[in-house]
Amino acid sequence: MSKRQWLVLISILGFAGLAMGADSCETTESGGEKSADSAEKGKDEAEKPCGSRATDDCTPHVAANQSVRVDALTWKISDAKRAATLGDQSIGLGEKANGVYAVVNLRVSSDRDDSATLSDDIATLKVGNRSYKPDTDGTIAAVGAGEEPFFLEDIGPDSTLKGIIVFDLPPKVLKQKPELCFGEIGFGSTTGCIRMPAI
């Protein structure tokens, strides 16, 4: 093979190598873009709200006028009020709050296949990382005042109940946009939260 033929062959091979390298770069860049797109899509899906239905993977946080569904029970805040005292203290059936009572009127509807017993500990009031359980003394005083708290109340399938839950809170908590969070009946960890109305 002549020197000229060798030069032509080397030139052809050189161009072929460059072309293959360009294709490889394009494929890598394209694959990188796809990976970025997939990561962005995954991020969007992770940040997507789960609506009003609680699942093992998502805890809904809804506005005060909305409802949440947890463990086939749908909860809604009808209204709420604050009080310094509950019940009739003159006859020994009243209580005075250490801070301020938040009395929350609730409505719950059941889509369960069987009956369930509800108590006020199914709900927790939360502000950031702090949690407040319902107040037993306030609940007893509310009973004495003719209120109907959620205390060992049975709810059957396709039924609706109304009742109250009482919290004894530092007054500043009510200014910090607290949420009322409802858990599962039993030992499940699924939770749904409703923003407390301003009171």
123 shares its domain with 78: yes
Say if residues 194 and 76 touch (Cβ distance below 8 Å).
yes
78-119 pLDDT, tens per residue? 999 999 999 877 766 789 999 999 999 999 999 999 998 988
9-41 pLDDT, tens per residue? 444 444 444 444 444 433 334 444 444 444 444
125 shares its domain with 153: yes
Domain with 167 in it: what CATH number?
Answer: 2.60.40.1240
In a domain, 9, yes or no: yes
**Residue 108, burial from CB neighbour count under 10 angstroms (0-12, 13-18, 19+):** buried
